[in-house]
Amino acid sequence: MTKLILVVDDKAELRTLLKSYLTQEGFNVILAGDGQEALYTARHEKPDLIILDLMMPEMNGYDFMRHYIREADTPVIILTARVEENDKVLGLELGADDYVTKPFSPRELTARVRAVFRRLEKASQEPDILRAADIVVDKVGRGVMVNGRPVTLTPSEFDLLAVLMSAPGRVFSRLELLDRLQGTAYEGYERTIDVHIRNLRTKIEPDASNPRYIETVYGAGYRFASQQ
């Protein structure tokens, strides 16, 4: 089935360019000019992925994510013309799966889009239920239970936890985890993993400052504790 992508940007020429390029690449594309319109469109059209500009009138990308991430686990790739790391980190903390800094090439963006879909498809082919320590991950229902209570994760947080739990005790480097999440390892984007790990620990650890489940292996990466 052809994937449906929602492109959200206040620049009409960029929306048109991305729609043309992504359509040629085999995707169905719908458009919105600001966060408010995007919220309405996403709720009614149920896109498979959202490409989201951060700086827009009416409702910006940050506010859109604050509203929509509570309603659906749709993957989000954010677009930002701002180069400050804090802007990118905030987008990731709000639940974005990836980010692309303007100006960018449509080819790079398309590669990121395909990587997200490959990651989701690969995740669907692995065991449906993962259990380790006090955590249960339901990969079909995209649900997580910690000590018997449900925990809400973003798509990237969920997939990151599933990768780590698939091999307790194994150390995954940041680039390897980035590759598992995005399908292609982009050097320079390793900071993305650190942000997702921090967010994930806040949600599943009894004490995020003294993690019990997700351990840092300094100079190497991260692992899910093999024994509890």
Q: Which residue has the higher pLDDT, 98 or 222?
A: 222
pLDDT in the model for residue 191: 72
pLDDT in the model for residue 80: 80
Give the residue range(s) of CATH 3.40.50.2300 domains in the chain: 4-122
Fold category of 127-224 in CATH: Arc Repressor Mutant, subunit A (1.10.10)
pLDDT tens string 9-37: 999 999 999 999 999 999 999 999 999 99
pLDDT tens string 177-194: 887 776 544 444 567 788
pLDDT in the model for residue 92: 76
pLDDT tens string 92-144: 777 788 888 888 888 889 988 998 888 777 766 666 788 888 899 988 788 89
Give the residue range(s) of CATH 1.10.10.10 domains in the chain: 127-224
pLDDT tens string 27-74: 999 999 999 999 999 999 999 999 999 888 888 888 999 888 878 889
* Distance of alpha carbon 63 from alpha carbon 163, whole angstroms: 29
Q: What percent of the chain has pLDDT over 70?
A: 89
The 3 state secondary structure assigned to the chain is CCCEEEEECCCHHHHHHHHHHHHHCCCEEEEECCHHHHHHHHHHHCCCEEEEECCCCCCCHHHHHHHHCCCCCCCEEEEECCCCHHHHHHHHHCCCCEEEECCCCHHHHHHHHHHHHHHHHHHHCCCCEEEECCEEEECCCCEEEECCEEECCCHHHHHHHHHHHCCCCCCECHHHHHHHHHCCCCCCCCHHHHHHHHHHHHHHCCCCCCCCCEEEECCCEEEECCCC
Superfamily of domain 4-122: Response regulator (3.40.50.2300)
* Distance of alpha carbon 155 from alpha carbon 92, whole angstroms: 11
